[in-house]
């Protein structure tokens, strides 16, 4: 982790990171399946909850939380250097410390989404620029699978929305196919997600000549 990111971690990680039980050891990214996170307890209030799956270096997380202070944002990220980068961006945004409406869990989101949050408790789920695993032999590693779709559907509140974005056409087609096969969801928008900033992944994709695809699905 770069020195500036480590310094941000040292200053505010204890305010932002949520400690969860890890049956496989303190360094594991697998949360105890018996654990249930209580957003009201974690944030100290009741508010619409946004869950970002794979927040990376925190571009969308920090920008979204700044634009929507009345919402709470929970990021699930497995990459510790990315969390450190997000904390540094958070300090740059606030000019001092942590954003009060942001919490981060260092955890494998694919596993955690199955059990960690109560059904029907999430206002929006964000999956922005997940690893495309472009080689055909690696497609099975993509996060957007039928099981993942089922986990997201379980979490969404009645008015909930799942927002996805990718800069790989073949992954966009796969997302449409996999998510579109779920009868409980309907595609409601292909416009840019309202709170999604221009991220470094988007800039990289645009520079390479790739098209950006946004998808938004709502419970039927």
Task: Note the pLDDT tens digit of each residue in 43-95.
Answer: 999 999 999 999 999 999 999 999 999 999 999 999 999 999 999 999 999 99
- Hey, what are 158's tokens? 């009645």
Q: How confident is the model at residue 140 (pLDDT cuts 50, 70, 90)?
A: confident
| Distance from C-alpha of 59 to C-alpha of 41, rounded to nearest angstrom | 25
In the CATH hierarchy, which top-level class contains the domain 3-219?
A: alpha beta
Which sequence spans correspond to the domains of the chain?
3-219
Place of tokens 């634009």: 67
Partners of 163 in the beta sheet? Answer: 126, 216
Question: Which residues are CB-neighbours of 214 under 8 A, at least 6 positions away?
Answer: 163, 164, 165, 189, 190, 191, 192, 193, 196
Its pTM stands at 0.95
Q: What is the mean pLDDT of residues 114-134?
A: 94
| Distance from C-alpha of 202 to C-alpha of 88, rounded to nearest angstrom | 20
The yes-or-no answer on residue 38 being catalytic is: no
Q: What is the mean pLDDT of residues 99-121?
A: 96
**Catalytic hit among 10, 14, 38, 131:** 131
The pLDDT of residue 101:
98
The pLDDT of residue 200:
79
């Amino acid at each position: 982790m770069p020195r500036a990111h480590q310094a941000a971690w040292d200053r505010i990680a204890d305010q932002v990171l949520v400690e969860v039980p890890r049956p496989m050891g303190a360094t594991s990214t697998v949360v105890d399946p018996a654990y249930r996170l209580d957003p009201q307890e974690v944030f100290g209030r009741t508010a619409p909850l946004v869950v970002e799956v794979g927040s990376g270096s925190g571009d969308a997380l920090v920008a979204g939380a700044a634009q929507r202070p009345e919402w709470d944002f929970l990021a699930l990220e497995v990459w510790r250097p990315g969390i450190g980068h997000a904390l540094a961006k958070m300090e740059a945004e606030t000019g001092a410390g942590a954003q009060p409406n942001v919490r981060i869990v260092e955890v494998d989101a694919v596993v955690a989404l199955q059990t960690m949050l109560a059904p029907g408790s999430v206002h929006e789920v964000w999956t922005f620029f997940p690893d495309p695993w472009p080689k055909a032999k690696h497609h099975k590693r993509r996060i957007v699978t039928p099981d993942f779709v089922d986990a997201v559907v379980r979490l969404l509140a009645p008015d909930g929305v799942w927002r996805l974005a990718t800069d790989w056409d073949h992954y966009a087609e796969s997302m449409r196919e996999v998510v579109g096969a779920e009868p409980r969801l309907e595609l409601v928008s292909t416009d840019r997600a309202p709170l999604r900033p221009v991220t470094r992944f988007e800039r990289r994709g645009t520079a390479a000549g790739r098209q950006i695809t946004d998808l938004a699905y709502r419970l039927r």
